[in-house]
Structure 1
Amino acid sequence: MSQVHQAVLDYFNVYLILFIIIKKKIHTVCSLSECIKHQYYYINMRMNWTEAQRYCRENYTDLATVHNMNDMKELNKTVNNRQNVWIGLSQTTHTWKWSLGDPVNYTNWENGQPNSHPKCAFMRNGRWQSEICNEKLSFICYNGSSKGYVIENSNKTWRDAQSFCRQHHTDLTSVRSQTENENIVKIINNNETSVWIGLFSDLWEWSDNSNVGFRYWKSVEPNGGSDAQCTEVQMEKQGEWNDAGCHHSITFVCHEDQLILIKESRTWSEALKYCRENHMDLVSVHSDKIEKRLNTVVQHASTAEVWLGLRHSCTVGIWFWVSGEIVCYEKWAEGNETAVENCETVMRSGAVQSGGDHRWISLPETERCNFICSRYD
């Protein structure tokens, strides 16, 4: 693409953005594409778990991953019968996860914690400790609508607290930073109070390697031994999960990811052309939900940076998405939002780091990187 053609494209996108802002207001633009979900496919053939995994990987992306209750509802609608179906969760080794599905990048354990036995986590005096999940404690819910925390003083087991939070709010709370930890301490308002948080340890992992902590087990599950190492959704039990022997032959659900990592090194303009010809567009990131899925996909890249559909215009001095929306959700590495030197001669585009905490950076568009296409509009 020539510089003249690229300048015309930049002008078009910038003025489209300005038009959208005038017509719909910024808060409306920022709400676009808030939800990103898997496309689920019910496969009405009976296979064991390993055979089902192979089939999904050959024909779709993988056996189904379930990120949250919205995904669970979509999966139930897709199956729409009373059979049991395989999903992509199987037993491996113990790791700590957040119930809400956030990556565990921050911890604040008390000295000597967590102990060697897999348990659930509670907070007291701002520090975390592990405990048997059947203990009854107060707990902290997170409400996604208000973006706030709610303390519940009724004593419940960790699983019952999780169910209560999902029914009345969003989920048991994640604690992703020291700031969030301090905010929760203020809400508890009693240093001696022990409250469940959403951190738990289990030995289940998703087939597509997603670091997703969402679980929807029946109240007594998982309870199997060494033979019950795979997960079936029991449709007659409102879609609750059961651990089962992987050798059983049942129907299953595949998913097709709406974000696709292309492990080819191309310039930004070449990546844009490829995505628009083969999928929908270079990916735009408008929310935490899309960011979480992006982080799962990008960690498998073969280059240190991965192109996004993020572009800088020297003309008006702003960053914008090639999908025609303003940048209202941001995750810039320090100083990179303004790293647009010599932009009159060197076009700048946005990329995400494939390692670390996946911050956005500014790069000359002539750099060659992997890139992520989106299948959604």
Structure 2
Amino acid sequence: MHGRLFLLILMEQNKSLHFIDNKKMWRAAQSYCRENHTDLASGAEQLNKAVSTFKSSDEPRSWIGLFRDTWRWSDGSNYSYRHWRDVGELPEELSKTDSGTRKCAMTEFNKEGKWKADDCNTRKSFFCYGDEKLILINERKNWDEAVNYCRKHHRDLVSITNLEQQELVQEKAKNASTPHIWLGLRYSCALDLWFWVNDQLVCYENWADDTDTGDCNLAVAMETRGEHKWFKKNYAQMFSFICSLS
């Protein structure tokens, strides 16, 4: 709990929840989440999961994605769920008693995780969420084991068919514990052909210059640092890998 960032994957939604232990005003927190993830955390499932994980933390409260005009969520979603600490936090009650500064909501890290309104210009930690398409598995496996793991627990070993996908994968790969990660690209000696595990054609390439090994038992691993080039590796080598979630 003492690190600068905590990542919690909500696997049932293919979303990630990121605790940012870097105190910011609400608008700055919203901008950070939108630049680095998707938005401030919104909705019952995300917030309940956050509170249940952090209720023993020494951090008392954090920003969430709820703000007041007529209380609405930062990401535009229309969740009807409300979890205010007391009646005085309701919009109609605040409008009677408040000077207008308490327009942003925070969640408290206690047993119930109730919400409270506060001045948006105070500095707090906060939660961001992101729509996840990939997950890094920091376990050393050979290529066949990596494919089987991804198909059992997620969707498949990752395929890269354009530059945008390459950039997403290499960002995930930066946190890998091995110098290379397996990709879902393998070689068929019989067909003398490279193909992705999702059966898509190899229309985008990022090969390193020295990848011609003359071996039939080959699959592709991407370097986790540098230019993130692709290297031909023997199936039996042991690397971390990335699974696609959708």
Which category of TM-score, normalised to the shorter sequence, fits these structures? Answer: 0.5 to 0.7
- Residues 287/259 of structure 1: CA separation in 2 closer, same or farther (3 Å cut): same
1:63-93 CA distances to partner (integer Å, 9 max, x unpaired)? 36xxxxxxxxxxxxxxxxxxxxxx969569x
Determine the structure 1 residue equivalent to 2:197.
Answer: 322
**Per-residue deviation, 1:287:** 1.9
Structure 1, unpaired ranges of 5+: 1-49, 65-86, 93-201, 216-228
The match for 2:231 among 361, 369, 374 is 361
**Shift in CA distance, 357/321, structure 1 to aligned 2, threshold 3 Å:** same
1:69-88 aligned at under 5 Å gives the runs none
Paired position in structure 2 for 1:342: 215
Letter aligned with residue 362 of structure 1: K
AA in 2 matched with 1:374: S
In structure 2, the residue matched to 1:272 is 147
Q: Is the 8 A contact 1:90 1:206 kept in 2?
A: no
Alignment check: 8 A CA contact 1:90 1:204 kept = no
Cα pair 1:231 1:244 within 8 Å, conserved: no
**2:122 pairs with one of 238, 245, 261:** 245
| Partner amino acid, structure 2, of 1:372 | I
Q: Structure 1: how far apart are the matches of 2:159 and 2:68?
A: 35
Count of paired positions: 172
Aligned amino acid, residue 214 of structure 2: E
Do the aligned residues in 2 keep the contact of 1:307 with 1:372 (CA within 8 Å)?
A: yes
Within 5 Å, give how 1:52-131 maps onto structure 2: 57=8, 59=10, 62-63=16-17
Shift in alpha-carbon separation, 1:253–1:310, aligned structure 2, 3 A: same
The Cα shift of 1:320 comes to 1.0
Partner of 1:120: none
Q: 2:164 aligns with which of 280, 285, 289?
A: 289
- Deviation, structure 1 residue 238: 10
TM-score by length of 2: 0.55
Q: Percentage identity across aligned positions? A: 28
Query: Would the alpha carbon gap of residues 238 and 265 (structure 1) be closer, same or farther in structure 2, given more than 3 Å must change?
Result: closer
Q: Look up the equivalent residue of 1:324 and give its one-letter code.
A: D
Mapped to 1, the partners of 2:184 and 2:191 lie a distance apart of: 18
Structure 1 residue 206: deviation in Å? 6.0
- Whether 1:261 aligns to 2:212 is no
**Code of the aligned partner of 2:244:** S
Would you say the 8 A contact 2:181–2:222 is kept in 1? yes
> What is the one-letter code of the residue matched to 2:186?
R
Q: Give 1:366 deviation, angstroms.
A: 0.6
Aligned equivalents of 2:151 and 2:183: distance in 1?
13
Q: Distance in 1 between matches of 2:63 and 2:146?
A: 38
Query: TM-score by structure 1 length?
Result: 0.37
| 1:234 Cα offset (Å) | 5.9
Distance change >3 Å, CA 245–CA 255, structure 1 → 2: same
**Secondary structure of the equivalent of 2:8?**
helix
Shift of residue 333, structure 1, vs aligned partner: 1.1
**1:230-275 CA distance string (max 9 Å, x none):** 79576969959x97534499xx663352211111111100111111
| CA pair 248-203 structure 1, distance change in 2 beyond 3 A | closer
Q: What value does the CA root-mean-square deviation take over the aligned residues?
A: 4.3
Q: Alpha carbons of 1:89 and 1:285: their partners in 2 closer, same or farther (altered >3 Å)? A: farther
Instruction: Report the AA paired with residue 303 of structure 1.
Output: T
Which residue identity does 1:355 align to in structure 2?
R
Whether the 8 Å CA contact 2:147–2:156 is kept in 1: the answer is yes
